[in-house]
Structures are given as structure tokens and as C-alpha cells.
Amino acid sequence: MAIKVRFFAALREQVGRDVVEVRAPTSGDIAGLLANMREQLGEAVVAGLTAPNVRVALNREFVNGDCAVRDGDEVAFMPPITGG
Amino acid sequence: MYRKISIQRDDFDVGREWSELRAALAERVGAMAAFCGLVRDQYEENRVSNLELEHYPGMTEKSIDSIIDRAGARWPLDAVVVIHRVGALAPREQIVLVLATSSHRQAALEACTFVIDLLKTEAVFWKREVLPSGARWIESTNADRQRSTDWRR
């Protein structure tokens, strides 16, 4: 098991992939997940994900700040949305 | 409250959606309001050759459901319909339809405006414009963010 991490729109293009499987962090939070992603994907990729306008969703719900993540969760990194 | 949310690649028929909703309504409903958004053919100084819409299946529907919940908490509504297209769209194609119904016109009209205003800033979609000079992701405008914020008063 791992955490499924998804990227959308401009972030998907920056990362060059729409989904990656990341080892669940022992800390059990987004900060730990980002640390594991840094090892797996490189610093440059992760730097773009921590910009203030990037929103994070856990299992298809927006989260503000950090939150608990576990094996089997889906975390999405999303640039500003533009519907309508 | 009756609600319908559809995220689809295919075009929609406003007349059919309108008639189907009208047929399903209770007799007390006295007002239906509609908004239909089209793809603009001009952005700033550039002619847009195409618009591409991306969404997050599952989450996009949830985000629209939450907007409808808030409209229903604010006005006495009988029904809200939101149809939003994704994929590649050409200028003048229909992109979004909002229908809102209530006993009286003011609630239907205001709820329709509220839903489209919040779709701009809270529904999970991303738009990419294909211009003669290349493609670029659209960012929400200050005016859109302001209209969404104004509803919090």
C-alpha cells in the first residue's frame, strides 16, 4: 500500500505525470508525504507544490494546512481553479 | 430539493433541460431562472482558437454539490440543475448551464447568480486557452474572486 498522489492542470505539466505512488510517511502527515516525495521525485518538483496558491485535497475534499494521511489515501495537488 | 449535476463532454440542449425540469416541478413553483455560459472568442487582445477544460472526477461533482447546498440554505429553492462541460470546446460553444427554481422570481434569479458566481471560484475545473501564440492556463480574475467574496456578506 502507498499514497496515491495526483497532479492537475499546470502542476501536472510541471511534474510531467498525473499520478505517482508515494510511500506513506511515518509522520502520517502532508509534511512527511512531501519529504518522501522529495526523495522520490526531486526537490524541484516538490518546490512547485508548496506555493501559496496550490490547494491540497485529501480523498477529494479540500484541506487547509496539514492533515493526517494514511496508506490508501489519495492526495491531490491543484493549481487555482477556474470553472464556470 | 431536487438537484442534477452533470459533468459531460457532450453538448447539452437548453430547451430539453428546461422542459424536463418544468415537467418534474411541484405546482407551487412559480419561477425558473437560467444561465448559460458560452466560450468567448476573444481574451484580452487575442483570439481564442479553443478552450480545454480539465476536471477531477468525483471531487468536481462534490464541489458543485456543496455550492448547491449553500444556495439551498440561503433561498427557498425547489430545484437546481448544473451541467458543466469538459474537454475541448470551440468559441461560442455552450460550456455551462445553471437552472434554479423557486416559488418566486427573486429567489430563483439570485440563486442562479450565486451558483454561477461560485462555480467560477469553487468548482474544481481548470481552463486552458489555446491562442495563436500558444496555450496557457487561465487564472481566475479579481472580478470573479470579488463576486464570490461578496456573497459571504
The ipTM estimated for the assembled molecules is: 0.91
Collect all residues from B whose CB is shorter than 8 A from any CB in A: 37, 54, 56, 58-59, 62, 84, 95-96, 116, 119-128, 137-140, 144
Q: What is the rounded average pLDDT of the residues B74-87?
A: 97
B136 to chain A: which residues are within 8 Å by CB? none
In b/e form, how buried is each residue of B101-139, taking b as 16+ CB within 10 angstroms?
Answer: bbeeeebbbbbbbbbbbbbbbbbbbbbbbeeeeeeebbe
- Say yes or no to pLDDT of A74 above 90: yes
Mean pLDDT of all residues in chain B?
92
pLDDT band at residue B42, thresholds of 50, 70 and 90? confident
How many whole angstroms separate alpha carbon B48 and alpha carbon B6? Answer: 26
- Say yes or no to pLDDT of B29 above 90: no
Q: Give the closest of B37, B56, B139 to A82, CB-based.
A: B139
How many whole angstroms separate alpha carbon B100 and alpha carbon B71? Answer: 10
Q: Which cell goes with A63?
A: 484541506
- Say yes or no to pLDDT of B63 above 90: yes
- Say yes or no to pLDDT of B96 above 80: yes
Nearest to B53 by CA among B109, B101, B18, B8: B8
How many whole angstroms separate alpha carbon B45 and alpha carbon B121? Answer: 24
Cβ–Cβ of B126/A82 closer than 8 Å? yes
pLDDT band at residue B149, thresholds of 50, 70 and 90? confident
pTM of the model: 0.91
Handedness of CA B117, B121, B123, B129 (dihedral sign): positive
B97 to chain A: which residues are within 8 Å by CB? none
Q: Which cell goes with B69?
A: 447546498
Predicted pLDDT of residue B69: 98
Residue B52: what are its φ and ψ, rounded to 5°? -120, 130
A9 to chain B: which residues are within 8 Å by CB? 54, 126, 128, 137
Q: Which cell goes with A21?
A: 505512488
Is A81 an 8 Å CB contact of chain B?
yes
Q: What is the pLDDT of residues B10-20, one digit of tens each?
A: 999 999 999 99
Predicted pLDDT of residue B44: 66
Would you put residue A24 in left (φ > 0), alpha (ψ -120 to 50) or beta?
beta
Residue A27: what are its φ and ψ, rounded to 5°? -70, -20
CB B35 within 8 A of CB B97: yes
Cβ–Cβ of A9/B128 closer than 8 Å? yes
Cβ–Cβ of A83/B138 closer than 8 Å? no
Predicted pLDDT of residue B48: 79
Is the model more confident about B103 or about B27? B103
Size of interface A-B (CB pairs under 8 A): 61
